[in-house]
Structure 1
Amino acid sequence: MIQQFYPQVPHNFRYELNKDMHLAAAHFIPDSKAGQCQHMHGHTYFINITIGGDQLDELGFLINFKRIKEIVHKRYDHSVLNDHPEYKDVYPTTERVAEQIWTAIQKELSTLVHQPKCLQVVVRETPTSYVVYRPKPEDIA
């Protein structure tokens, strides 16, 4: 994977973890206003997840990198995003994909005793186009 640099999210946490991954998935936006994107097509998405926290678990992790990959990669790799229940009532745009990844990661983090927070999710759809999702402070309180 080519080394990527992503926008930094300001925070006051002692630790910051970043996990990069990529996955292949197809989607379509079934609306004529979406132009070519109304037709089924695929991307190799490059994803960066930023997690912050002040405390580590008993092993010394904010969260194990492997667990982050299981939550995201296992769910979406080699799938049609439109088929996932979280996109039943909304189109799987890159913005929505970033938001849903944040939701899944934060749900897992909220179960951990030391309460790390997902600060940012970056989803790169093409070499020249990406979305940054940052929750509002009240979303991760």
Structure 2
Amino acid sequence: MMQQFYPTAAHDFQFELNKDLHFSAAHFIPSEDAGKCQVMHGHTYHLNITIGGNELDATGFLIDFKLLKELIHKKYDHSVLNDHPEFKNKFPTTELLAQQVWQSIQQVLEMRSNRPHCLQVIVRETPTSYVVFRPRKGELS
């Protein structure tokens, strides 16, 4: 993967971890407003996940990079996004995918003793289009 620089999330944490990963998935947006995207098609999605925190775990990690990859890649790679329960009553747009990835990661982080936070998720759908999702201040506990 080529090196990509993304917008940064402002924060006061001592540590910031960034993980780039990718997966291939298909989706369709069942709305006339979606134009050609109404028809099932696929993307190789490229993600950047930013985690922040002040405390490291016993191993010296905010979170192991491998865990982030397993959490997202196993869930979405080579799947149809419309078939996932989190998109049952929503269209699997890039915006909502970024939000769902954030929610999945944040749920895992909240269970960790060092309590890191997912500060942002960036989902690149094409070489020229990406979405940044950042939680509202109240969503970071």
TM over 0.5: yes
Counterpart CA distance in 1 for 2:91 and 2:21 is: 23
Counterpart CA distance in 1 for 2:62 and 2:42 is: 32
- Compute the displacement of 1:100 (Å): 0.2
Could you tell me which runs of 5 or more consecutive residues in structure 1 were left unpaired when the two chains were aligned: none
Please state whether the residue corresponding to 2:122 is helix, strand or coil. strand
**What residue in structure 2 maps to residue 101 of structure 1?**
101
Please state whether the residue corresponding to 2:44 is helix, strand or coil. strand
Counterpart CA distance in 1 for 2:19 and 2:36 is: 31
Counterpart CA distance in 2 for 1:37 and 1:135 is: 27
Is 1:67 the counterpart of 2:67 in the alignment?
yes
Please state whether the residue corresponding to 1:25 is helix, strand or coil. strand
TM-score scaled by structure 1?
A: 0.99
Could you tell me which runs of 5 or more consecutive residues in structure 2 were left unpaired when the two chains were aligned: none
Counterpart CA distance in 1 for 2:140 and 2:84 is: 24
Counterpart CA distance in 1 for 2:54 and 2:112 is: 13
Question: Where does structure 1 differ by over 2 angstroms across 4 or more consecutive aligned residues?
Answer: none
Please state whether the residue corresponding to 1:63 is helix, strand or coil. coil
- Compute the displacement of 1:137 (Å): 1.0
Q: RMSD of the TM alignment (CA)?
A: 0.4
Aligned length: 141
For 1:1-141, list aligned pairs within 5 A.
Answer: 1-141=1-141
TM-score scaled by structure 2?
A: 0.99
- Compute the displacement of 1:126 (Å): 0.2
User: Identity percentage over the alignment?
Assistant: 62
- Compute the displacement of 1:32 (Å): 1.0
Counterpart CA distance in 2 for 1:31 and 1:91 is: 9
Counterpart CA distance in 2 for 1:129 and 1:54 is: 32
